[in-house]
Amino acid sequence: MAGPLTGLKVVELGGIGPGPHAAMLLSDLGADAVRVERPAGGLSLRNGAKTDWSQRGRRSVAADMKTDEGVALVRALITKADVVIDGFRPGVAERLGIGPDEFTESNPGLVFARMTGWGQAGPLSSAVGHDINYIGLTGMLHAMGTTNAPPSPPLNLVGDFGGGSLYLVLGVLAALHERGQSGRGQVVDAAIVDGVSSLGQPIWSLLNGGVWQNRRQANILDGAAPFYRTYPCSDGKYVAVGAIEPQFYAALLTGLELDPKDLPTQMDQSTWADVNKQFAEIFASRTRADWEQVFGGTDACVTPVLDFDEAAANTHLRERGALIEIDGVVQSGVAPRFSRSATDVPKAPTTPGSSTDEVCADWGIK
């Protein structure tokens, strides 16, 4: 595969969630990523070999880590690798004999990237959990949702992938850059609680600056502001409104056929609830398609809220390749884009273990 990471060898120790997503991102950008799975297939969301496209673009080897032969194969792969993605709980890789200290002599440049929810150290490091638990501890989940309802989890995008896989990839690339200067690899401790906390720094800044309230649906970005929220239309579909800047807000009022002289000032929070009701009544009077016609080509920052099928058919996303279709499967394209390093169309995931001989030959493992 072409791309800026061509030539980089990555071993992904099979799992679910942010580890595979991180391996997908590296593979999308050209890395030769190999997924290690149990002989019968690792734990994943796939239903058959080609449905879990988060495992796209990389080959799969089978290794039973309960046998000497399986451990030997994984050790041989790691010895040849630039990067290992370890999604095990702390201490598991060491018990299997494939922890980072095992390779300080055979592969001193190895970047050993460890993906966990709680981190490698701390009171909860050995505890179990999932995305919702991790973002719950950081304070971010508390801020999501409506006033009179429990917090609403934002799928698992904020924790597993925003604070997890993206920060793991950031750590890998930073460690590789440092290796170019020192010649030495290192361990990357990527914890979802750390990544989500880092993602949340802009909100912490607003909170510390006294311009964010420590409660849901009371702030400019959490659905309280009438100019930054979603509204239902007469056909049961929705529009998203993001008219924060004064000139965008003015365009919003124009489209709604409202005179700003008849409304409170935009940032008067004491009036937001009443203005919300007024805007909601207007948006509910017409279909989403009508509002697309009204606001299309304007600076009002009003766009349709698309479902998955609609997004897959969206002209902008299709023309950019943000969403693509391969073998009849709709999925994300490769991101980001580069001016010189072209990336290939992602390849379908392989059947678990089907590439073992091929990978061993390519990586010089006997």
Name the residues annotated as catalytic: 130, 160
Number of C-beta neighbours around residue 109 at 10 A: 16
Number of C-beta neighbours around residue 33 at 10 A: 28
DSSP 29-57: TT-EEEEEE-TT--S-S-SSTTS-GGGTT
Residues in the chain: 366
Q: Which residues on adjacent β-strands are paired with residue 103?
A: none
Strands 238-242 and 302-305: antiparallel
- Whether 291 contacts 233, CB under 8 Å: yes
Which DSSP category does 304 fall into? E
Which DSSP category does 165 fall into? I
Q: Which residues are CB-contacts of 344 (< 8 A; sequence separation ≥ 6)?
A: 1, 2, 3, 30
From 44, 42, 13, 28, select the one nearest 114 (Cα to Cα).
13
- Whether 81 contacts 110, CB under 8 Å: yes
Q: CA 186 to CA 175: how far, in whole Å?
A: 7
Number of C-beta neighbours around residue 295 at 10 A: 22
Phi, psi of 134 (to 5 degrees): -65, -45
From 55, 56, 74, select the one nearest 65 (Cα to Cα).
74
User: What is the helix (H) or strand (E) element at residue 70, kind and residue range?
Assistant: helix 68-80
- Whether 346 contacts 326, CB under 8 Å: yes
> In the structure encoding, which two tokens stand for residue 326, read together?
């391969």
